[in-house]
Amino acid sequence: MSDPSQASTVGSTTQALQLAPTGASVVLPVQPEACRALAAALETKSGADPRGEVYLRLEGITGDQPTLLDVYLSVPEGAAAAAHPEHHLGTVGLYGLVQSSMKDKHGGGGQGMGFSLDATCLFKRLRLAGPPVPSGIRVDVIPKRPLPEKGRIIIGKIHLLHAQEH
C-alpha cells in the first residue's frame, strides 16, 4: 500500500466548495503530465495490480451540519450523480464537524476535517486518467439527505493525488 502523504499532486481545486442543500460539483483541473504518468502507472497487464494508488483528498471541511456525504467522480455532464452508481467513490461521515470547525478560546483549531478516499479501482475501471488525458475531472459531493437552507458545509480544498510505490 502506498503512503498518501508521499503522493504527487495530479490536480487541485483553486477555491473552496460550498455545498448547496442538495450538494455541489466542481471540475478539478488536472496537470497533463501528472495525469499521463498516472495513466501509465494504472495501465497494467490483465490481473496485475496497478503501480501506485490514486487518492481523492478532501481538506478543511468546516460547517454546522454533521451529515454523510456521497462523493462521485467524473459523472457525465448534466447527469445526476445518484443515477450513476458506477461513479460513486465513497461516503464520508462528518460527525464531529461542528466541533472541528470551532476555534478555541486562544484562537487555535477550527481547521475542520479531512478525508482521503482511495480512487485507484474507480480510475482504473473507468479509465479516468485517459487516454485521452482529460483537462479536468468532475467531483460531485452530495449529502445523503438535503441540508437545511441555512446549513453550511464548505470543503476548503480538493486534491487528486498519485502515490507511487517505491
State residue 125's pLDDT score.
Answer: 87
Element (H or E) spanning 97, and its range?
A: helix 97-101
Cβ burial 29-67 (10 Å sphere, 16+ → b, else e)? ebbeebbbbbbebbeeeeeeebebbbbbbbbbbbbebeb
Which residue's entry shows cell 490514486?
Answer: 54
Domains (range + CATH), the chain: 4-163 (2.60.120.680)
Percent of the chain with pLDDT over 90: 60
- Report how far residue 104's alpha carbon sits from residue 35's, in angstroms, rounded to the nearest whole number: 40
Q: Which three cell numbers stand for residue 108?
A: 487555535
Q: How confident is the model at residue 147 (pLDDT cuts 50, 70, 90)?
A: very high
Average pLDDT estimate for 92-104: 92
Q: How confident is the model at residue 132 (pLDDT cuts 50, 70, 90)?
A: confident
